């Protein structure tokens, strides 16, 4: 082979390789320039975006207070504990450190720390002191992968008090009661922080791009008076205890505005632990239908007077039985045969009212039902209103109309019934009931007053006044004499409705009473309905009227309605008069026994005609139930909880000192130590029980009395 030719071929190959090498190097150089120069800003921004995170800033939920500012629902500081299992280095050691702080088992925590994924909730709610203990371990590097997040939890300082009205909050927000109906106002608006975050989602200092602060929720002030509410609730519980009833309902309204001054249902539940009593959530004054019985008759009286069928003095003959479509209607008790319409109303004569219903006829009767708001919903600001149950007008035969005219074979909610009866109290106008008074911002300024909604005129004011005067006769001369209040003219009506079962009428009843006073121009109307009272005393005039009497009397006092004594209203009806028999005993005021030695407390309780039921083996009363000042039935058992007789268990902790603090601070300090808060009054903490420094069981309640700050003499507030 020719050496020259070989040398030439080698040179050509070298040139080709060199060319392609330079070309590839040029392409790579161009790509590097494109990435590092041309696309540098875009790629850097994209890389930053991959590390950006939005950290939510939850808004503090607004408070709920009564009309005087007493806090009924409040959000207090707490913390949540989470873990990133990917970052856990020693699950067993970290579980051992966390278990005593969280009050959980090591095995349970260890299982969560070993779990899949990058997020596990170890405790959805811990106190600030627990969070601080975890923070101390984190500061020493003992808990890698463990995080605490500040949050708030909803607390209801009075526990079972007003459970149905207040409702409760779950993960989605308000789920029942006022918490649900005013969810938007209470919730406020959440904020957020946009910043670069580390793999655990924590903000990297100095990288915040946007910070949108949360907007605190508004305070909802209710029309409810907490003192009157407490009175109503205690009276209902007493009635249930003495009659062994299944349920009880009570409402107090201000007639002119429809403001709900008090509303209670039994059994109730503690919204702090609402999950323990789901069966009672719907047991509300707006969500439970039941037959009203004769307490419905004032509506029929209004329709009859307005239609001109009768007058109060129309003479009537009551044959004792009314036969309609093959059925026989009887009076509850035998009455005089020759009577007047007023007297038949006082004695609650079903035969007379069945006859009046037949005279009205379906068309006219149902027109009045609609006018009184009974064929729709009350339209209140309480969620879960249930419709009333009537025979449809197209199917209302004579027997149905006759029975409905005296409150049988129909069902209404207590709220719907008192709304209809309030037409009579308010001079013939239909007023929408409501529990919200106004919305208040964090500075205490009213940002949205909740105005009364006055509806249509149902009956003339003169007819309403006539019906009220006839109802005064029920209290003075008829079945409602247990509703008498000295020096006030009370207009009232009893009701004892049959409860129907699968086989027809049962031997159980619903005892009801409605009262309004003063009769000339009512300042308050109260309705009580007691479901299935047991024993020989089970009529409305016997078991419901005394409850209304006690509550209505207190409502008139709270509203500042002065007594007006006349010859006819100073003394109660004569003993032994019809309607006065009752199993309800004399009422007494609960004495204060907290902090007294057991012997002294026993003597004080017995002197008031009560009994002391001791709980615990200590020598001094720690707290009492019912509280001092409550009106209770004579010979009721007072529960006295004593201080521990033996050294306090190791789990007990010292009660913090909250004297002089506002409610939010006191609630936070007690919650951080594991205590619940029971509240009376408003202002700054004046007294607390147990006292500061006493050893007590975490989870128990500390009662704190708040009092307004006294103005400086000669100064201004």
Question: Can you give the pLDDT at residue 337?
Answer: 78
Tell me the pLDDT band of 620, cut-offs 50, 70 and 90: confident
Please state, in angstroms and rounded to a whole number, the distance separating the CA atoms of residues 23 and 12: 17
**Taking Cα atoms as reference points, which of 147, 76, 86 lies closest to residue 118?**
86
Please state, in angstroms and rounded to a whole number, the distance separating the CA atoms of residues 153 and 676: 12
| E-state strands within 138-178 | 146-155, 169-170, 173-174
pLDDT tops 50 at residue 587: yes
Q: Which of 424-438, 552-566, 682-696 has the highest mean pLDDT?
A: 424-438
Question: Can you give the pLDDT at residue 17?
Answer: 62
pLDDT tops 60 at residue 583: no
Question: Can you give the pLDDT at residue 680?
Answer: 75
- What burial letters (b/e) apply to 669-689, b meaning 16+ CB within 10 Å? bbbbbbbbbbbbbbebbeebb
Please state, in angstroms and rounded to a whole number, the distance separating the CA atoms of residues 353 and 499: 19
- Looking at per-residue confidence, does 88 or 262 come out higher? 262
Please state, in angstroms and rounded to a whole number, the distance separating the CA atoms of residues 497 and 503: 16
392 CB-contact burial (10 Å; exposed 0-12 / middle 13-18 / buried 19+): exposed
Q: Which of 33-47, 137-151, 426-440 has the highest mean pLDDT?
A: 426-440
- What burial letters (b/e) apply to 515-541, b meaning 16+ CB within 10 Å? bbbbbeebbbbbbbbbbbbeeebbbbb
The fraction of the chain above a pLDDT of 90, given in percent, is: 46
Q: What is the pLDDT of residues 267-307, one digit of tens each?
A: 999 999 898 888 888 899 999 999 999 999 999 999 999 99
Question: Can you give the pLDDT at residue 131?
Answer: 86
User: Which residue carries 């035998």 as its tokens?
Assistant: 334
Tell me what the mean pLDDT of segment 503-528 comes to. 92
**DSSP structure class, residue 477:** H
User: Which residue carries 């086989």 as its tokens?
Assistant: 503
502 CB-contact burial (10 Å; exposed 0-12 / middle 13-18 / buried 19+): exposed
User: Which residue carries 């090591």 as its tokens?
Assistant: 106
- Kind of pairing, strands 504-517 and 491-501? antiparallel
**Element containing residue 570 per DSSP (H, E):** none
Tell me what the mean pLDDT of segment 423-436 comes to. 97
Cβ proximity of 378 and 322 under 8 Å: no
**Taking Cα atoms as reference points, which of 406, 396, 419 lies closest to residue 325?**
396
Q: Is the peptide bond before 446 cis (omega within 30 degrees of 0)?
A: no
**Arithmetic mean of pLDDT over the chain:** 85
Tell me what the mean pLDDT of segment 655-661 comes to. 90
- Looking at per-residue confidence, does 505 or 661 come out higher? 661
Q: What is the pLDDT of residues 222-242, one digit of tens each?
A: 999 999 999 999 999 989 988
Question: Can you give the pLDDT at residue 450?
Answer: 93
pLDDT tops 50 at residue 456: yes
Cβ proximity of 334 and 347 under 8 Å: no
Please state, in angstroms and rounded to a whole number, the distance separating the CA atoms of residues 693 and 696: 9
Work out the number of other CB atoms within 10 angstroms of the CB of residue 378. Answer: 27
Tell me the pLDDT band of 23, cut-offs 50, 70 and 90: low
**CA 310 from centre of chain:** 44
Question: Can you give the pLDDT at residue 127?
Answer: 81
Please state the φ and ψ torsions of residue 314, each to the nearest 5 degrees: -60, 120
- Looking at per-residue confidence, does 586 or 616 come out higher? 616
Please state, in angstroms and rounded to a whole number, the distance separating the CA atoms of residues 133 and 250: 47
Question: Can you give the pLDDT at residue 116?
Answer: 82
Please, which residues have CB within 8 angstroms of residue 573's CB and are 6 or more apart in sequence? 476, 477, 481, 484, 579, 580
Please state the φ and ψ torsions of residue 689, each to the nearest 5 degrees: -145, 115
Question: Can you give the pLDDT at residue 270?
Answer: 92
pTM of the model as a whole: 0.72
Question: Can you give the pLDDT at residue 585?
Answer: 37
pLDDT tops 80 at residue 12: no
Tell me what the mean pLDDT of segment 432-453 comes to. 94
pLDDT tops 70 at residue 636: no
Tell me the pLDDT band of 559, cut-offs 50, 70 and 90: very high
Q: Which long-range contacts (CB under 8 A, 24 or more apart) does 369-377 make?
A: 369/299, 371/430, 371/456, 371/458, 371/459, 372/299, 372/302, 372/420, 372/423, 372/430, 372/458, 373/416, 373/419, 373/420, 373/423, 373/430, 373/455, 374/299, 374/412, 374/416, 374/420, 377/416
| CA quadruple 411, 414, 420, 423: dihedral, nearest 10 | 160
**Element containing residue 565 per DSSP (H, E):** none
Looking at 28-42, 415-429, 477-491, which range is the least confident one? 28-42
Question: Can you give the pLDDT at residue 711?
Answer: 46
Tell me what the mean pLDDT of segment 697-707 comes to. 78
**Total residues belonging to the chain:** 717
Across-strand partners of 603?
A: none
Question: Can you give the pLDDT at residue 232?
Answer: 94
Question: Can you give the pLDDT at residue 582?
Answer: 34
Looking at 381-385, 434-438, 458-462, 503-507, which range is the least confident one? 503-507
Tell me the pLDDT band of 103, cut-offs 50, 70 and 90: confident
Question: Can you give the pLDDT at residue 179?
Answer: 97
pLDDT tops 90 at residue 11: no
Tokens matching residue 394: 């197209």
Report CA-CA distances (Å) from 157 to 67, 71, 174, 421, 593. Answer: 16, 8, 17, 34, 22
Alpha-helical regions (H) of 140-285? 163-166, 177-181, 183-187, 226-243
Across-strand partners of 621?
A: 642
Please state, in angstroms and rounded to a whole number, the distance separating the CA atoms of residues 266 and 249: 6
Please state, in angstroms and rounded to a whole number, the distance separating the CA atoms of residues 69 and 91: 49
Please state the φ and ψ torsions of residue 222, each to the nearest 5 degrees: -95, 160
Across-strand partners of 511?
A: 496, 530
- Looking at per-residue confidence, does 88 or 436 come out higher? 436
Q: What is the pLDDT of residues 35-71, one digit of tens each?
A: 565 555 554 544 444 467 777 788 899 999 999 999 9
Cβ proximity of 288 and 531 under 8 Å: no
Please state, in angstroms and rounded to a whole number, the distance separating the CA atoms of residues 360 and 401: 9
Looking at 544-558, 599-613, 643-657, 675-689, which range is the least confident one? 643-657
Looking at 29-43, 425-439, 522-536, 701-715, which range is the least confident one? 29-43
Tell me what the mean pLDDT of segment 449-457 comes to. 92
Question: Can you give the pLDDT at residue 712?
Answer: 39
Q: What is the pLDDT of residues 362-397, one digit of tens each?
A: 999 999 999 999 998 999 999 999 999 999 999 999
Tell me what the mean pLDDT of segment 254-274 comes to. 94
The fraction of the chain above a pLDDT of 70, given in percent, is: 87
Tell me the pLDDT band of 76, cut-offs 50, 70 and 90: confident
Cβ proximity of 162 and 177 under 8 Å: no
Please state, in angstroms and rounded to a whole number, the distance separating the CA atoms of residues 398 and 355: 10
**Taking Cα atoms as reference points, which of 469, 473, 493, 492 lies closest to residue 407?**
493
């Amino acid at each position: 082979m020719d050496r020259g030719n070989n040398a030439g071929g080698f040179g050509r190959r070298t040139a080709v390789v060199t060319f392609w090498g330079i070309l590839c190097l040029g392409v790579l150089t161009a790509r590097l320039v494109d990435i590092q120069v041309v696309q540098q800003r875009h790629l850097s921004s994209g890389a930053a975006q991959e590390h950006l995170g939005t950290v939510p800033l939850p808004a503090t939920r607004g408070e709920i207070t009564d009309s005087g500012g007493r806090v009924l629902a409040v959000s207090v500081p707490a913390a949540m504990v989470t873990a990133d299992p990917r970052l856990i280095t020693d699950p067993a050691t970290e579980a051992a450190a966390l278990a005593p702080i969280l009050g959980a088992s090591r095995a349970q925590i260890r299982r969560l720390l070993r779990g899949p994924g990058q997020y596990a909730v170890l405790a959805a709610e811990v106190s600030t002191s627990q969070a601080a203990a975890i923070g101390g371990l984190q500061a020493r590097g003992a808990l890698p992968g463990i995080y605490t997040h500040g949050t708030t939890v909803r607390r209801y300082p009075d526990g079972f008090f007003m459970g149905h009205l207040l409702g409760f909050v779950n993960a989605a927000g308000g789920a029942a009661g006022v918490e649900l109906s005013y969810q938007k106002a209470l919730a406020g608006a959440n904020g957020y922080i946009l910043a670069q975050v580390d793999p655990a989602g924590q903000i990297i200092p100095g990288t915040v791009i946007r910070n949108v602060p949360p907007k605190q929720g508004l305070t909802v002030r209710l029309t409810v008076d907490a003192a009157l509410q407490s009175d109503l609730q205690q009276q209902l519980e007493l009635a249930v205890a003495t009659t062994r009833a299944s349920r009880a309902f009570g409402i107090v309204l201000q007639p002119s505005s429809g403001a709900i001054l008090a509303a209670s249902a039994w059994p109730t539940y503690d919204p702090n632990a609402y999950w323990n009593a789901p069966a009672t959530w719907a047991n509300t004054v707006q969500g439970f239908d039941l037959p009203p019985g004769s307490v419905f008759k004032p509506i029929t009286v209004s329709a009859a007077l307005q239609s001109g069928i009768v007058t109060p003095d129309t003479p009537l003959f009551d044959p004792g039985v009314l036969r309609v479509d093959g059925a026989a209607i009887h009076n509850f008790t035998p009455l005089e045969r020759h009577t007047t319409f007023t007297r038949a109303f006082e004695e609650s004569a079903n035969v007379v009212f069945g006859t009046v219903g037949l005279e009205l006829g379906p068309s006219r009767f149902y027109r009045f039902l609609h006018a009184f708001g009974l064929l729709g919903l009350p339209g209140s600001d309480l969620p879960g209103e249930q419709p009333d149950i009537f025979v449809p007008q197209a199917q209302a035969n004579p027997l149905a109309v006759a029975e409905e005219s005296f409150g049988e074979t129909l069902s209404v909610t207590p709220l719907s019934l008192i709304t209809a009866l309030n037409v009579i109290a308010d001079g013939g106008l239909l007023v929408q009931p409501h529990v919200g008074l106004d919305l208040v911002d964090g500075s205490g300024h009213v940002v949205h007053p909740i105005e009364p909604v006055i509806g249509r005129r149902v009956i003339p004011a003169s007819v309403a006044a006539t019906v009220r005067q006839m109802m005064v006769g029920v209290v003075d001369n008829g079945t409602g004499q247990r509703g008498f209040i000295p020096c006030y003219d009370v207009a009232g009506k009893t009701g004892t409705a049959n409860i129907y079962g699968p086989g027809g009428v049962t031997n159980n009843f619903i005892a009801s009473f409605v009262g309004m006073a003063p009769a000339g121009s009512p300042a308050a109307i109260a309705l009580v309905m007691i479901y299935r009272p047991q024993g020989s005393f089970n009529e409305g005039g016997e078991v419901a009227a005394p409850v209304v009497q006690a509550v209505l009397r207190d409502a008139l006092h709270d509203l500042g309605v002065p007594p007006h004594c006349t010859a006819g209203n100073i003394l109660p009806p004569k003993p032994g008069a019809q309607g006065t028999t009752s199993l309800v005993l004399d009422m007494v005021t609960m004495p204060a026994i907290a902090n007294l030695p057991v012997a002294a407390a026993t003597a004080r309780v017995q002197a008031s005609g009560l009994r002391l039921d001791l709980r615990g083996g200590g020598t001094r009363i720690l707290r009492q139930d019912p509280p001092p000042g409550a009106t209770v039935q004579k010979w009721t058992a007072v529960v006295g909880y004593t201080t521990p007789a033996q050294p306090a268990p190791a789990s007990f902790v010292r009660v913090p000192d909250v004297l002089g603090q506002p409610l939010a601070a006191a609630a936070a300090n007690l919650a951080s130590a594991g205590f619940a808060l029971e509240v009376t009054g408003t202002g700054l903490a004046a007294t607390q029980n147990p006292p500061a420094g006493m050893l007590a069981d975490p989870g128990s309640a500390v009662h704190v009395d708040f009092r307004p700050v006294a103005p400086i003499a000669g100064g201004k507030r």
